[in-house]
Amino acid sequence: MSQSGLITMNHMTHIQQLNPNAVALCSLGRWIASRHWVPATGGNFSIRQDENTALVTASGRDKGELSPQDLLPVSWQQEELFSPLGKPSAETALHAQLYQLDPAIKVVLHTHSVAATVFSRIISTEQYFFSGYEMQKAITGVTSHEQSLPLAIFDNTQNIPALAQQVKHCWQTKPLNFGLLVRGHGLYVWGYSLEQAKRHLEGWEFLINCELERIKLTGKP
């Protein structure tokens, strides 16, 4: 990296340490790690800075030790990603896609819990419908346990831009309800604030865990 690149990185790191968004995202990230939902350096988190920019966790960091210097600024223009500090991780493309689909999205969280991963594999359909749970109301817009709440499941691929395109296509035809599963991979949730994104994460994890337990107990998927 060039001398000017190093200066930029130090400068940006300094800015991020003082950035309340960065500090709050890292605090939430460490809490998520304490739940064992991002093991083995897996998962990634981001928080929007402005219309075309977000801070995104650098790949390979232990999420239990997350601090502002582990966040990279990333900008986007359609499918193109730019980062002054080097090539952002592949999965950033899905974060950028979500930020472009809804300008109100402030935070995107991608996690790898055992429950979400297993659930996404035992369900072979493109959507799973939750009903009868009061906890469905944790998802913004849901007002009753009597509604049927779909969660979309996409097949996994190492081609993240292609996955991002599928999500965009899906977004236009059926509601995504602030969350989606990637099969054998994990969960993405988002929200209009850090608090809302955390609530959606806990809500979806709860619903998925309940259905897994129910299937174990009754034998009926």
* Known binding-site positions: 110, 112
Which residues fall in the annotated binding site for Zn(2+)? 110, 112
Binding region for a second copy (CB under 8 A): 39-42, 62, 112, 114-115, 117-118, 121-122, 132-135, 138, 143-146, 156, 158, 182-186, 195, 198-200, 202-203, 205-206, 209-210, 212-218, 221
Cα distance between residue 152 and residue 51, in whole Å: 26
Spatial contact of 180 and 98, defined as CB atoms under 8 Å apart: no
Shortest reach from residue 215's CB to a second copy, in Å: 6
Report the residue number, 71 or 91, with the smaller CB distance to a second copy: 91
Beta bridge partners of 109: 45, 189
**Alpha-carbon span 89 to 59, nearest angstrom:** 6
CB nearer a second copy, residue 98 or residue 187: 187
CB 32, CB 38: distance < 8 Å: yes
DSSP single-letter state for residue 70 = G
Cβ 51 to a second copy, closest distance in Å? 28
Residue 12 or 70: the one with the smaller Cβ distance to a second copy is 70
Distances from the Cα of 14 to the Cα of 10, 11, 47, 69, 165, angstroms: 6, 5, 17, 8, 35
Look-up of token digits 């994460």: 201
The least CB distance from residue 144 to a second copy, in Å, is 5
Tokens at residue 100, please? Answer: 């472009």
Task: Provide the β-strand partners of residue 71.
Answer: 57
8/137 with CB nearer a second copy? 137
The CB-of-84 to a second copy minimum distance in angstroms stands at 26
Q: Which structure tokens are listed for 129?
A: 């419908």
Tokens of 161: 């831009």
Smallest distance, a second copy to C-beta of residue 106, A: 17
C-beta closer to a second copy: residue 1 or 40: 40
